[in-house]
Structure 1
Amino acid sequence: MSDDVYLIVSGHAQVPKGVALHEEKKYIGAVWVINKSTKIIEKAEFTLITSLSNEFLSNLVIGYDLNQGIDNLLNKIKKLCLMPSQGAIIQAVRSAYERFKENPK
């Protein structure tokens, strides 16, 4: 991976108390590798307890075109990710997107 073609961004959000994930991890992270020229997420990971949750969410965001904003991705997560930690996942995704937007081109 060439450092002039890709960048890595992450966003984090606190997991609400009362959610099982909170006992193991206090924060959820969304980490993306983005192609700087196309603005497409090419790799993704989430810091969730199970590998299945991480894989499912990663597959939702990989290939997403950030040129179209974040609303479509957030709606997809709301529709398909029916987990107690959904709000924290959405916040972590928003945070990663905001960090991406702050990046000087």
Structure 2
Amino acid sequence: MNKNTVLTAGFAQIPKGTTLYEVSTMVGCVLIIDVDAEVICDASFTFVMDKTSEFLVSLLVGKTVADGMQEITKAIQERFLAPGQGAVLQAIRAAIERYHEKKA
């Protein structure tokens, strides 16, 4: 791991009435960001099923956080077709916003 990385986290509530809500009420997202390149180096999610987390990580690694969420939102909306998509995006958004707040 590059010494110029930070770990940031975000959380979001999963909508009631979804199957996912019955398993967990919250989704958490941890991002490791290279501060120099402003690129996501690694990520982790609080899903019970590893494949869900692995897939989301594959969508995020290498994505920039410099321009906000446009590239990430597009990738999640097009390729993560599962209940809780909005909560996943909100958790990622919260982690990225925390990064930008501390960076400023």
- TM-score with structure 1 setting the length: 0.90
Distance 1:104 1:36 in 2: 9
Shift of 1:102: 0.5
Which 4+ stretches in 1 moved above 6 angstroms? none
Aligned residue in 1 for 2:90: 91
Structure 1, unpaired ranges of 5+: none
The aligned residue for residue 50 of structure 2 is: 51
Find the counterpart in structure 1 of residue 14 from structure 2.
15
- Deviation, 1:19, is 1.6
Per-residue deviation, 1:23: 1.8
Deviations 1:8-30 (A, max 9, x none): 00110001112222122111011
Give the Cα separation in 1 of the matches to 2:69 and 2:99: 11
Q: What is the root-mean-square deviation of aligned Cα atoms in Å?
A: 1.4
State the match for 1:26 in structure 2.
25
TM-score by structure 2 length? 0.91
User: What SS is found at the alignment partner of 2:27?
Assistant: strand
Q: How far off its partner does 1:72 sit?
A: 1.5
